[in-house]
Amino acid sequence: MSIDAKLVKTLREKTGAGMMDCKKALVDSKGDLDLAVDFLRKSGIAKAEKKSSRDANEGLVVSYIHHGSKLGVLLEIGCETDFVAKTDGFLDLANNIAMQIAASNPMAIDESSLSEDLIAKEKEIYTDQAKSSGKPDNVVEKIVEGKLKKFKEDNCLVHQSFVKNPDVTIGQLIQEGVSKLGENITINRFVRFALGEQSNN
């Protein structure tokens, strides 16, 4: 089927994907823009997963200072080449992630960065809460599981909803960056400073 050039342009603007990828996505989705976006997202995730094993020894340290200069973030974000590190796309991604950290104050990058002691403490609190409401053990277990999942989503950077677009998580935002820039991207470390507050990191 023939695909309208305007539709290809619209899809490119929406996703940042290459022209040929947009055309293929529109052909596969029979011209349906929403399906084409989903198609590109899924293929981007697949590409990102393939690249995730590659070393990301280049990158940037970026800073974000919130309006009023009472809150700031330092973020180390990695990629594979100095060339990509200098692109506007990589810098935009880094700035968006630094802004996210300023806004949502995550405790860790992902679950593996959360201390076992902290998880055990949260589990104990949730178990006591559920048991005190008189729920049976099997229900208590499910409640605790659900609350722990929510705790990780709220406090791990990669699981948080992006402040500029809550339909996308930070993990998905990074995968989209990998797909667009063609390199593995890693969040290596961050620190958030708020005037008068002790830092988590």
- CATH assignment of the domain containing 182: 3.30.479.20
What is the model's pLDDT at position 174?
93
Indicate the number of domains in the chain. 3
Quick: pLDDT tens for 144-180: 899 999 998 899 999 999 999 999 999 999 988 988 8
Residue-number span of the structural domain to which 177 is assigned? 58-110+156-194
Return the pLDDT at 40. 74
Residues 65, 104, single domain; the answer is yes
DSSP assigned state of 108: B
| Together in a domain, 136 and 164 | no
Same domain, 89 and 160: yes
Q: What is the CATH number of the domain that holds 14?
A: 1.10.8.10
Cα separation, 2 vs 28, whole angstroms: 12
Q: Would 201 be classed as within a structural domain?
A: no
- State phi, psi for 16 to the nearest 5 degrees: 75, 5
Quote the tokens at residue 171.
């993990």
Q: Is 59 left (phi over 0), alpha (psi -120 to 50) or beta?
A: left
Residues 24, 1 contacting (CB under 8 angstroms): no
Are 16 and 104 contained in the same domain?
no
Let me know: does 114 contact 135? Beta carbons within 8 Å: no
> What is this structure's pTM?
0.65
Q: Among residues 15, 31, 51, which one ends one of the domains?
A: 51
User: Picking from 75-84, 135-144, 191-200, which range would have the lowest pLDDT averaged per residue?
Assistant: 191-200
